[in-house]
Amino acid sequence: MRRTTLLLASCGLLLAACTLPIPSGQQQSSAASSSNVSSEETQVQGEEIGEGMPLTEERTETGALAEHMLSTGVLEVGKREAPLTLLMFTEHHCSYCRQFLFEIFPRLKTDFLETGTLKLQIAMLPLQKYQASNDASLGFICSAAQGKGLVMHDTLFRNPNKSKAAILSYAVDLKLDTALLDDCMKSARTKAMLEGQQTWAQSLGVDVVPAFFLNGEKFLGLPYYPDLKGRIAETLKKLNEQ
């Protein structure tokens, strides 16, 4: 475990995140923000991807939320007309990303997604360190193309085997078209989508996962849910005051 001091536009919280090997020479830029938020130094607790998996194994209740894949390969969950957008960069070996799905997502779903206040966009940031990281990301994108991205996302976090063969076996259980999924994972177009998401993340200065952008405002690491809920409420209030 190691600690990295990052400059964040957020309150002073101890956040949990998995560090990413982003090249030091990569130019970074911040996402546009519609509000003025004071910046201060915050400790982000990082760990190597795949280390220290949480003990919880319950299946995430994804329910009947609307989901569709954007042209970029990003999965959008919730009502398209929702006034707030929470963009998340994640990776299937990251224990804190897994914790977000199992512990925070169900509450986010009830409080904001189902009410139409917020939509969640899920983008992938695979790591070369893990041989199956690319396959997991491609499998997720291709499952999203068949309307089952969220349930595959859940399946990949629950199962340690994320190889292509394993993904195709999960696809059978999820009643996906496995031939179509296989072709999609080999497609140059799908690989270009994934590369585009990696480039996008780097251009936004993302060097840990999970990383979030709420209507353009960046914050890193696993948030405490009460703080995330408060941030969403404050952003909605400012939006309504405009």
Task: Give the residue-averaged pLDDT of 103-125.
Answer: 97
| Cβ partners under 8 Å of residue 232, min gap 6 | 84, 86, 112, 117, 118, 214
| Cβ partners under 8 Å of residue 122, min gap 6 | 74, 75, 76, 77, 88, 90, 149, 153
Distance from C-alpha of 117 to C-alpha of 150, rounded to nearest angstrom: 19
Calculate helix-pair angle for 164-173, 178-186, nearest 10 degrees: 150
| Cβ partners under 8 Å of residue 124, min gap 6 | 73, 89, 90, 91, 137, 140, 141, 194, 197
Percent of the chain at pLDDT > 70 equals 74
Distance from C-alpha of 96 to C-alpha of 49, rounded to nearest angstrom: 9
Instruction: Assess contact for 108 and 118: CB atoms under 8 A.
Output: yes
Instruction: Categorize the per-residue pLDDT at 18 as very low, low, confident or very high, splitting at 50, 70 and 90.
Output: confident
Percent of the chain at pLDDT > 90 equals 70
CA atoms within 13 A on the CB side of 218: 22
pLDDT at 52 over 70: no
DSSP letter (8 states) at residue 222: B
Model-level pTM? 0.79
Q: Please write the tens of the pLDDT for every residue from 158-210.
A: 999 999 999 999 999 999 999 999 999 999 999 999 999 999 999 999 989 99
Report residue 205: phi and psi, to 5°. Answer: 75, 25
For the chain, strand residue ranges (E) read 2-8, 15-19, 40-47, 67-69, 75-77, 84-90, 118-124, 208-209, 211-214, 217-220
